[in-house]
Amino acid sequence: MMKMGTVKIAGIDREISGAIFDLDGTLIDSMQVWVDVDRAFMKECGLPYEEDYFDALKHITLEDAADYTIKRYHLSDDPQTLIDWWMDAATRAYHEQVKLKPYVYEWLSYLHESGVKIGLATACETPLFLPALKRLGILSFFDAYTTLSEVTRSKRFPDIFLLSAKRLGVAPEDCVVFDDVIDGLLGAKDAGMAIVGVYDETSASQRTEIEANANRYIMNFGELLK
């Protein structure tokens, strides 16, 4: 077993021994997949696609998304029907198409070789992300993964990050969280963790708020390798 190590990241005033990553929009270029899935679903249901609808669904579980959709549009569908539709639509993209964002492999490799414990904290479902991470060659870098369905509150709260740190065996204050969306970063901040905002086109409108709260903001992980 590799001995736990630490790294120093510019902008963070402490050494880091645990790194926790969001998945969609942070490690993989997949947010457009969900935009396309949502657009197709709305078209099939004869409903107008509204930008705030997509924003509301970011980083919540499929179960919560189904409940929200049914209530918002007064649908008579069973929540599981919506979940099955979304999963079927997204599966092929995750298993065959989604790609890593720039320098993700290199950054994870650096952390792994430095002995930093690496965790995944995601709203994505396991049947989607495990095959994707394996295909993309990064699954072996992760020491633990935690899904939002395992806790009772959204990523705006610290629950998922605290559970992830516990599984890594790292104190929360020794962890850094990478996320592209403000709610996840604020939840991690409330957990006492350092936070790094990661640019994604679908959350670019949040950049000012993210920069005001994060220890650092990056356009891609190559900036951390310099």
For 72-131, write each residue's pLDDT tens digit. 999 999 999 999 999 998 898 899 989 999 999 999 999 999 999 999 999 998 999 999
pLDDT of 60:
83
Give the mean model confidence (pLDDT) for residues 181-202. 97
pLDDT of 35:
85
Report whether pLDDT(164) > 70.
yes
**In contact, 105 and 129? CB cutoff 8 Å:** no
**DSSP single-letter state for residue 143:** S
pLDDT of 224:
97
pLDDT of 2:
58
Residue 58 binned pLDDT confidence (cut-offs 50, 70, 90)? confident
Predicted TM-score (pTM) of this structure = 0.87
For 126-149, write each residue's pLDDT tens digit. 999 999 999 999 999 999 999 999
| CB crowding 68-101: b at 16 or more within 10 Å, else e | bbbeeeeeeeebeebbebbeebbeebbeeebebb
pLDDT of 92:
85
Distance (Å, rounded) from C-alpha 128 to C-alpha 13? Answer: 35
For 16-54, write each residue's pLDDT tens digit. 999 999 999 999 998 888 888 889 999 999 998 888 888
Nearest to 25 by CA among 94, 101, 83: 101
Residue 190 binned pLDDT confidence (cut-offs 50, 70, 90)? very high
pLDDT of 141:
98
Quickly count: other Cβ atoms within 10 Å of residue 196's Cβ. Answer: 25
